[in-house]
Amino acid sequence: MNALTLFYAPGACSRVPLNALEELQLPFEERPLALMRGEQKKPEYLAINPKGKVPALQVGQRILTENPAILFYLATQYPEGQLLPNLDEPEGRMQALGDLVWCGSALHPLVRQILLPQLFTSGDTEPVKEFALQAFRPVVDQISSRLSNAPWWYGDRWSIVDVYLCWLMGIATLGGAPGVDHLAITEHIGRVRARPSFVRALAREKAAVERCNIPLPPGEAVSPRRRRPGRLSH
């Protein structure tokens, strides 16, 4: 087996692959970065991931970037871990890939605009945030309606998509989106957070924060408590 190293930042979207590795119970090395100190833009890290973002997963000598790609890689490389359902059918694989890409390419940019509108304009941030909040509303309704009928995104089976949605909804809620108003979403977040692999992932983040003295902005959560918005570039 190729050695795995995850480059991640406490509180960031890299929590999803961190949770995936914990779910798979694979041995891996962790390299936490302090985004607030700009470690993701330092030459040492840019040599690993020129995009200057977390996550990055080193697999042997290769580097994988982009959450959907990392998660799909882990799910298909270690199918016994059941990170995604129905991987043995082409339709199931493409459904799962579609959902991961939706999270990464549609929802993640939207929640960034909600939490960090200042990154998208040099002027008034309110219209940017309002536009993103409006675009996010039907998404929240869609997620909420699906989770009202079943405990997990894929019905009665947990998957890594649930963790991705949980992280996205948490960030959007920090930014003022109406996630917590939806009981189905709040309860879903509770279920995701109660899973042992999530608890272990969070404990790793917390330990990294303490060990490496990683500064977190006020809104950044490495504990289940919800806090105020921060300034990380999510």
Ligand X SMILES: N[C@@H](CCC(=O)N[C@@H](CS)C(=O)NCC(=O)O)C(=O)O
User: Could you list the residues that contact ligand X (CB under 6 A)?
Assistant: 12-13, 35, 40, 52-55, 66-67, 104, 108, 233-234
- Judged by beta carbon, residue 12 or residue 24, the one nearer ligand X is 12
- Judged by beta carbon, residue 100 or residue 185, the one nearer ligand X is 100
Closest of 159, 163, 167 to residue 84, by C-alpha: 159
Distance CA 211, CA 30 (A): 12
Contact assessment for residue 61 and residue 71, using Cβ atoms and an 8 Å cutoff: no
- Judged by beta carbon, residue 46 or residue 183, the one nearer ligand X is 46
Q: Report the half-sphere exposure of 230 (CA within 13 A, side-chain side).
A: 20
Give the shortest CB-14-to-ligand X separation in angstroms: 7
- Judged by beta carbon, residue 56 or residue 144, the one nearer ligand X is 56
Give the shortest CB-54-to-ligand X separation in angstroms: 4
Give the shortest CB-38-to-ligand X separation in angstroms: 7
Contact assessment for residue 46 and residue 31, using Cβ atoms and an 8 Å cutoff: no
Give the shortest CB-229-to-ligand X separation in angstroms: 14
- Judged by beta carbon, residue 19 or residue 40, the one nearer ligand X is 40
Closest of 53, 153, 54, 136 to residue 99, by C-alpha: 153
- Judged by beta carbon, residue 52 or residue 151, the one nearer ligand X is 52
Local structure of 132: helix, strand or coil: helix
**Pairing mode of beta strands 56-59, 29-32:** unpaired
Give the shortest CB-108-to-ligand X separation in angstroms: 6
Tokens representing 2 are 């190729």
Give the shortest CB-61-to-ligand X separation in angstroms: 20
Neighbours of 19 (CB within 10 A): 27
| Distances 155 to 78, 120, 134, 152 between C-alpha atoms, Å | 21, 36, 27, 5
